[in-house]
Amino acid sequence: MKLPHVYLHALGMINALGADTDAIASALAVGVSPGMGRVAFGGEHGAYTGRVLAPLELAPPSSLARYDCRNNRLMLAALAQIEPAVQAACARYGAGRVGVVLGTSTSGVGAGEAAAGIASGMEAGHAPFDYVQMEIGSGAPFAAATLGLQGPAFTISTACTSSAKAFAAARRLLQIGLCDALVVGGVDSLCELTVRGFAALESTSLDRTNPMSANRAGINIGEGAAVFLMSREEGPARLAGVGESSDAHHISAPDPSGAGGEQALRAALADAGMAASEIGYVNLHATATRKNDEMEARLMSRVFPHGVAASGTKPLTGHTLGAAGATELGFAWLSLVREGAVLPRHVWDGAADPALPALDLVEQDRRLAPGQGVMSNSFAFGGSNVSLVLAR
């Protein structure tokens, strides 16, 4: 049986680049991010992070006030951008046929940290806190309640592939007929847990992250939210291919051969019915850690032996962890559907690592050719690998 196509319609985003898709697309085009910089937490030397600078003025309705925290306000800011499209879907299909699938890695852990600091006397002030703010699974039910949706609502947490896997799960719900439309994406907010945790793994850089460079020294942690409306109704971009694999090589290190990641890329292309030559742009996972970039460069050279335009966008957002898959698919979607859009730039020092296969990194204005598709890669601890393909 041939499964129905699914499409990505409206997109809402907020991250270090800006507070909506217009601001983010403009900043992507020039490779400048106002929210990237050093902050005074995460150790005695501070940390270089990607912060949302916009005020988060939207608060949950009074009936959901216990959910109020920075993480959920980031999500509300993104949801507000697609709410008209979501409400139109509810009017068409009924609220019981519209669901939510979100990915997150830390949820509202930052709210718990702040409350613990105040309770212990280490910090001044009073922050109303409810444990539900930092429950990993609470994001999707909260989003559904906020929007009045009554379809399936669940949260996926698989570290840095969380929101990429949300698209695979949401597509299945549509294809088997359990939903007619879904809100799908991811959210994560800055907190001490992730900044200090990755620093303890010696995986962070005190300067802006430098992917695919011989001088790469680690990641910057970021925050943000990105959400789409997905349905079977024809729209501006089709989720044409999904590839997932789990190589379980190591709890935190990728398989240096990239075999599991390569399997995910090839599965996504096969699912889309597309050859590698039909892909015009790949958003790389590109964390700028020594091992991730080595692995990804090698698998990219095998899957795309003739090259493909590619960029790693984490120098512009930081690594948004559970929100990274949706955020970077959002960048690929913008490149595909916005008329005249330029591909996201690869911001780095230009010092290619001679030990890695050379990639065709986007360093100046470039655009997709007609008919080309786009791809986004996500890799995570534990060997979780996801690749997503979009087509017009």
Just list the catalytic residues: 160, 285, 319
CB atoms inside a 10 Å sphere around CB 40: 9
- The angle subtended at Cα 23 by Cα 22 and Cα 26, nearest 5°, is 85
Residue 375 neighbours by CB under 8 Å, 6+ apart: 241, 265, 268, 279, 281, 282, 283, 332, 387, 388, 389, 390
Residue 58 and residue 50: Cα distance in Å, rounded? 21
246 close to 260: Cβ distance less than 8 angstroms: yes
79 close to 64: Cβ distance less than 8 angstroms: no
Alpha helix stretches (DSSP H) within the chain: 21-30, 70-93, 109-119, 139-147, 162-175, 192-200, 259-272, 290-303, 314-317, 324-337
List beta partners, residue 160. Answer: 158
Phi (first) and psi of residue 358, to 5 degrees: -70, 135
Residue 79 and residue 97: Cα distance in Å, rounded? 18
Residue with tokens 């309705």: 61
4: its two tokens: 């129905």
Amino acid found at 374: V
Residue 111 to residues 117, 130, 188, 189, Cα–Cα distance (Å): 10, 9, 12, 10
